[in-house]
Amino acid sequence: MTVPPDFVAVLPLVAAVLAATAVLLVDLALPGRRTAVLLTALVALAVVALAVIAIGGEERVAFGGAYTVDALTTFLQILFVAIIALTVMFGPDYLVPRGLPVAEFAIVLIFAMTGAMLLAASTDLLLLFLGLELMVLPGYLLAAFHKSDGYSTEGAIKYFLLGSFSSAIFLFGLAFVWGLTGSTRVSDVAAVLSTFAAGQGTLSPGLAMGLAFMTTGVAFKIAAVPFHYWTPDAYQGSPTPVTGYLSVGPKIGAFALILRLFVEAMGPLRADWLPVVIVLAAATMTLGNLVALTQNNVKRMLAYSSIAHTGYMLVGLAAWAAGRMEGLEGLLYYGAAYSFMNLGAFAVVAALQKRSGVTSNLDTFAGLGRREPLLGALMVLFLLSLVGIPPTAGFFAKFYVILAAVEAGGALSVLAVIMVLNAAAAAFYYLRVVVYMYMRDPETEQPALRHGRLVWGGLAAATALTILLGIIQGPLLDIVGEAARAIG
């Protein structure tokens, strides 16, 4: 019996769905056995990762060009699996004291991962949309996970309304593009657009409008300024482990969409959208940082700072559009580095909230350095990485993006200067957390908490990656280089 090649290509997706189902069944068979559920989830995720690696050895095009497995797909899918695995590890300590179910948490996350993995492999506009929705729908669910908490439901409603709204805008634009190019295949759209770029014929107003709508829809998803308003409320309201996931998973997913859409489909028109991305990047990082400066809630602060990080990643995209391959590599490196350091920072916030009723205000961090020295030291590491202080992953990621921008020259070197000034401003609010942890005494003495083994395991992994990606860059550089060459 031979397995059809199309089926082989989507094997990781099948594995992901089976993984979610397996967790569901284990929870059904052994109700209340959290350890069994979590172990199943982690083992299943490992299997998915193995499937991704096994399938990703060669380039595969399936379903008539709608689904592609290339180096970029493999890289992104592995990254998604890692993000979900870390989130699953960080979740229970927050969820259990609040009486929230752990198994459902893991299952919904794995379903979201399936969507993100589909997104990473789609080379068809409609399939991209499908992956996007499959990724964000579980996200709405997760945002409202603490359903008895008013903030959680409020944030979820905002997230849901604006998310659906932006999806609709995206779909609207997609319809225009399909109608005027005659295809939803990324490669076909690129072929049509390249005739315009070559000077044959002009871009029709309808097509331009379609592309603009799709850009707007995507800008919503990555929370680029001025489409970022949903982020702070959604992030602050959600349960903290969910916030950590939301600030990383859907963002990297949306960047996967951007890579397929801007780089592959709209690549021929890059000279036209380059100014748009430059303005978006500059506005996004500057505004994100400025607003983050005034936040007293750490979750909200990290939400705004994640907007700023979106801006930094957009600099990589702009550098690619200006002709530098390093821009794309930098974007991917940044994505990986950002995922691990940001998840790590959120994990510490979540770990502090193990006792229910503890807020994520800055006061919670007062005296943490003395109360829980190890947790405090890890938080310092993640924050320094988010600032971009060497030798951490965050530093090298920023360095690489700036490198690409400086190399591109012209307007991009101005953008690089804006970026470094932003990085310096960001140091202020990240270090404010350090000030609270080490330089302020708490108003009331808090007991040290005992954290689960899974949390420590996840933190160890995030820490190791945050340090290693800052010191030994070679292996990941090779991988992102290959991934970038697959599309650029």
Partner 1 sequence: MNISSIPILTIVTFLPLAGAVLIAALPRSAARPVALGTALLTWVVSLILLIGYLPRPDFQFVETLDWIPLFGIQYKLGIDGLSLILVVLTTTLMWVSILASFRPIQERIKEYMISFLILEVGMIGVFVALDTFLFYIFFEIVLVPMYLIIGIWGGANRIYATIKFVLYTLVGSLLMLVAILATAFAFQAQTGSWAGAFDLTVLRETRFDPGLQVFAFLAFFMAFAIKVPMFPFHTWLPDAHVEAPTAGSVLLAGVLLKLGGYGFIRYAVPFYPDAAQTFAPLIIVLSLIAIIYGAIVALVQPDLKKLVAYSSVSHMGFVTLGIFVFTEQGLQGAILQMVNHGLITGGLFLLVGVIYERTHDRTIARMGGLAGATPVYAAVFGFFVFASVGLPGLSGFVGEFLTLVGAFDFSPLVAAIATFVMILAAGYLLWMFQRVATGDLSDFLRGLGHHLTDMRPVEVLTLAPLAALVVALGLFPGLVLDLIGGSVGSVLDGAATAAPIRFALWP
CB of 406 to partner 1, least distance (A): 4
Interacting residue with partner 1 among 133, 149, 407, 482 (CB under 8 A): 407
- Look up residue 347 and give its amino acid: A
Interacting residue with partner 1 among 14, 279, 406, 461 (CB under 8 A): 406
**With respect to partner 1, which residue has the nearer C-beta, 6 or 407?**
407
Q: How far apart are CA 173 and CA 177, in angstroms?
A: 6
Segment interacting with partner 1 (CB under 8 A) among 53-61, 124-132, 275-283, 406-414:
406-414
Interacting residue with partner 1 among 36, 431, 449, 461 (CB under 8 A): 431
**With respect to partner 1, which residue has the nearer C-beta, 68 or 473?**
473
Segment interacting with partner 1 (CB under 8 A) among 146-154, 178-186, 263-271, 404-412:
404-412
Per-residue mark of binding to partner 1, 196-225 (x: CB under 8 A):
------------------------------
Angle, CA 117 vertex, CA 114 and CA 121 arms, to 5°:
140
Q: How far apart are CA 271 and CA 101, in angstroms?
A: 49
Is residue 456 a contact residue for partner 1 (CB under 8 A)?
A: no
Interacting residue with partner 1 among 439, 448, 460, 464 (CB under 8 A): 439
The two three-digit tokens of residue 298, written as one number = 């750490």
CB of 75 to partner 1, least distance (A): 17
The two three-digit tokens of residue 435, written as one number = 């000030």
Is residue 332 a contact residue for partner 1 (CB under 8 A)?
A: no
Site for partner 1 in 365-394 (CB under 8 A): 369-370, 373, 384, 389-391
Count the site residues for partner 1 by CB under 8 A: 33
**With respect to partner 1, which residue has the nearer C-beta, 134 or 403?**
403
**With respect to partner 1, which residue has the nearer C-beta, 389 or 486?**
389
49 in Cβ contact with 32 (< 8 Å): no
CB of 370 to partner 1, least distance (A): 7
Interacting residue with partner 1 among 424, 448, 460, 464 (CB under 8 A): 424
Site for partner 1 in 464-483 (CB under 8 A): 473-474, 477
- Which residue is associated with the tokens 């951007």? 258
**With respect to partner 1, which residue has the nearer C-beta, 358 or 427?**
427
Is residue 420 a contact residue for partner 1 (CB under 8 A)?
A: yes
The two three-digit tokens of residue 300, written as one number = 């909200």
128 in Cβ contact with 122 (< 8 Å): yes
Per-residue mark of binding to partner 1, 340-369 (x: CB under 8 A):
-----------------------------x
Interacting residue with partner 1 among 46, 417, 460, 464 (CB under 8 A): 417
Is residue 413 a contact residue for partner 1 (CB under 8 A)?
A: yes
**Which sign, positive or negative, has the C-alpha torsion 277, 278, 281, 287?**
negative
Segment interacting with partner 1 (CB under 8 A) among 130-138, 202-210, 358-366, 433-441:
433-441
**With respect to partner 1, which residue has the nearer C-beta, 411 or 431?**
431
**With respect to partner 1, which residue has the nearer C-beta, 150 or 373?**
373
Segment interacting with partner 1 (CB under 8 A) among 51-59, 140-148, 197-205, 413-421:
413-421
CB of 85 to partner 1, least distance (A): 28
Residues contributing to the site for partner 1 (CB under 8 A) = 369-370, 373, 384, 389-391, 395, 399, 402-403, 406-407, 409, 413, 416-417, 420-421, 423-425, 427-428, 431-432, 434-435, 438-439, 473-474, 477
